Chains A and B, each alone.
Chain A
Amino acid sequence: MAEPLLQVRNLETTFFTPDGVVPAVDHVSLSVNKGETLGLVGESGCGKSVTALSVMRLIADPPGKIMGGDILFEGQNLLAKTEAEMRTIRGNRISMIFQEPMTSLNPVFTVGFQITEAIRLHQKLDRRDALAKAVEMLRLVGIPLPEKRVYEYPHELSGGMRQRVMIAMALSCNPKLLIADEPTTALDVTIQAQVLELMKRLRNELGMAILLITHDLGVVAEMADRVSVMYAGKNVEEGLVEPIFERPLHPYTRGLLDSIPQLHRDQVRLHAIDGGVPNPSQFPKGCRFHPRCQFAQDRCRAEQPVLTEVEPGHKVSCWYPLVAADRGVA
């Protein structure tokens, strides 16, 4: 179980924009074991998607550039691979689905064409066999009348159906790792539940690992085995889902958990973390969370904490990790 499939170590991805150098991902590490689901959580702009795109080596250069670190997939460093070698991995052993099903499919090609493209490329099937496989994939993701749907264009499908098509496309070559970047954010709540249910079922059937990027802790609780929390381009906390939800060590993680609406508790007002994510071109000195942290002390303003293992399997990057007394409801 604990065999690592993907290991990201000290990844640095930087964007060189006219407004300055933006270290969007700054020494981020994470690992996904075989068959495991890792939830990568954080607010918008904290570097989650850039981390994912770095793994796929799909960062547009310019303006972006991977400046350092290692990305080991099945023991091989993806950062050392040529573009041609990466193309045999993308869509084949690592697949990705995106947040916006409405815009992520090409409007001018049929669903069938877009699914068969990957199949024909990676599995070297001919047109007819690839189409049969595409129909099979559409049936697998629960699309009714797949024989008919393969000839339809994306605009003829609803948002939920399109996300199912994206999933079918991503899974058509049996990837070892599926990177799902906010796969349900753009969908209606009922459709969200269906898509998550589908992803869970397919994960169990196909035995792939999932790197699930989301800002929704409800989705993490539903799907993930482990969770890694990011803030301002850095890891802040990592561990199994249950300990993190029950005993968050980082004030930011606790803030995220507190901002989930609780139906069974009388809440006068919803908790929110004060302030906003700092602009990546001018991060605060010391711990990047300190301006928004109610526990910040002098050391937090001066020195950057490092990710350290506090309990077995539970890492946090904080000078003063929360103790039980701090965890009461704010």
Chain B
Amino acid sequence: MFSYAVKKVLLAIPLLLGVSVLVFMMMHLIPGDPARIIAGPEAFPEDVEALRVQLGLDKPLPVQYWIFLSHAVHGDFGRSIRSTRLVSAEIKSRFPATVELAVVATAVSLVIGLISGIIAATKQNSFFDTASMGVALLGISIPGFWLGLMLMLVFSYYLHLLPPSGRGGGLLTLAGWRYIALPALSLGVSSAASIARMTRSSMLEVLRQDYVRTARAKGLAERVVVYTHALKNAMIPVVTLTGLHLGFLLGGAVITEQVFAWPGLGTLVVNAIWSRDFPIVQGVVMLFATTFTVINLLVDLTYALFDPRVRYE
């Protein structure tokens, strides 16, 4: 298992190199001269030229890439054009908020999705099954930002229960939970919907298996049959799906963060794109690719917890 993890990490290197090439090229593929864009429309030509030298843009492309890469592996993506702060510092100040939101949203989606999926499967064709799967379909179809706006309207504007936007003081404070509730819910609901449907179909498949009948023939209570014997078998596709969701959420839930003015990577990257702040975009995209790779590795390793037949060779 350890050697499998090492192998996976080694395989991730060419992947991340590929991403780095794309990220690097982005600056050169976008129409216009980066130095001129950075310097601004009113800059004098000699200032633009000075900037070009300063940024190393006068050097050959492979050399530029090498410089970019050797800095990038140290987490150095240069300075933000807009704020002139280090990109790494900008990301560091935003990443915790994104992680916090991604983790809470995933927890919300797992709790809602697993419970309703399991109940729907064990009471197949009941009212709960039909109703929850209908709601789930709705949950998948509704755009997260619209749901966010509606939640905001109900819980903040009409009921005055929760703050409409911003971030409180982390998850150790009550305020932190009050601020995160609505964005986490609006992100969690759509994942919950797909997790619920996946759990239901996976459970239905498993509940038909011979070993479930064996478990009942042993005299086990239905609760043990469902939550021990069936659930552990049904979890594998759910783990995959949850990993994908978590990966996307860690990349910054761009629109939802905007709606709730959540100070995470999503907000950072959107503002960076608007202001042509390339170093920030490059840094965030690299981070996104890296976290996604890490999450995928974790998902692969999690399979073994659920299925002993998974062999890492």
Contacts and interface: CB of A to CB of B under 8 A. Distances in A.
Interface of A: 56, 58, 86-92, 95-96, 98, 100, 103-110, 117-118, 121-122, 153, 155, 166, 169
B211 A106 contact: yes
B220 A107 contact: no
B219 A90 contact: yes
Contacts of A104: 210-211, 213-214
Residue in A87, A92, A122 with the greatest tally of chain B CB atoms within 10 Å? A87
A106 B219 contact: no
Given A107-B211, A108-B232, A90 B218 contact: yes
Interface residues of B, number: 19
7 contacts: A88-B219, A89-B219, A91-B219, A96-B217, A98-B217, A106-B214, A106-B233
B92 interface: no
B33 interface: no
Contact of B217 (A56, A110, A121): A56
A90 B168 CA distance: 55
A109 B211 CA distance: 11
Contacts of A88: 219
Given A98-B210, A103-B209, A103-B211, A90 B217 contact: yes
A117 B211 contact: no
B309 A58 contact: no
A131 to B, nearest CB: 16
Residue in B217, B229, B306 with the greatest tally of chain A CB atoms within 10 Å? B217
B220 A87 contact: yes
A121 B306 contact: no
B308 interface: yes
A58 B214 CA distance: 10
A110 B307 CA distance: 11
Contacts, number: 70
B174 interface: no
Given A108-B233, A155-B309, A121 B219 contact: yes
Interface string B243-258: 0000000000000000
Nearest to A152: B308
B233 A107 contact: yes
Nearest to B221: A87
B216 interface: yes
Contacts of B233: 106-108
A95 B233 CA distance: 24
Interface in B188-235: 209-211, 213-221, 229, 232-233
Contacts of B214: 98, 104-106, 166, 169
Contacts of B308: 107-108, 110, 153, 155
Contact of B307 (A107, A117, A118, A166): A107
Contacts of A98: 210, 213-214, 217
Contacts of A121: 218-220
B309 A153 contact: yes
A242 to B, nearest CB: 32
Interface in B294-313: 306-309
A118 B229 contact: no
B219 A169 contact: no
Given A104-B213, A107-B308, A108-B233, 11 more contacts: A56-B217, A91-B220, A103-B209, A106-B211, A107-B307, A109-B232, A118-B218, A118-B220, A121-B219, A121-B220, A169-B218
Residue in A95, A106, A109 with the greatest tally of chain B CB atoms within 10 Å? A106
B217 A58 contact: yes
Contact of A87 (B210, B219, B229): B219
A95 B219 CA distance: 9
Nearest to B212: A106
A26 B308 CA distance: 43
A122 B219 contact: yes
Residue in B216, B218, B309 with the greatest tally of chain A CB atoms within 10 Å? B218
Contacts of B210: 98, 100, 103-104
Contact of B211 (A58, A92, A105, A118): A105
A325 to B, nearest CB: 46
Contacts of B309: 107, 153, 155
Nearest to B228: A109
A175 to B, nearest CB: 11
A91 B229 CA distance: 16
B232 A118 contact: no
A87 B89 CA distance: 62
Contacts of B211: 103-107
A104 B233 CA distance: 14
A88 B219 CA distance: 6
Contacts of A118: 218-220
A90 B220 CA distance: 8
A211 B211 CA distance: 21
Given A107-B307, A108-B232, A108-B308, A95 B217 contact: yes
A117 B213 contact: no
A109 B232 CA distance: 9
A106 B210 CA distance: 8
A122 B309 CA distance: 29
A106 B31 CA distance: 59
A111 to B, nearest CB: 11
A327 to B, nearest CB: 40
A90 B216 contact: yes
Contacts of B307: 107-108
Instruction: Name the 3 nearest CB pairs between A and B, nearest first.
Output: A91-B218, A91-B219, A90-B219
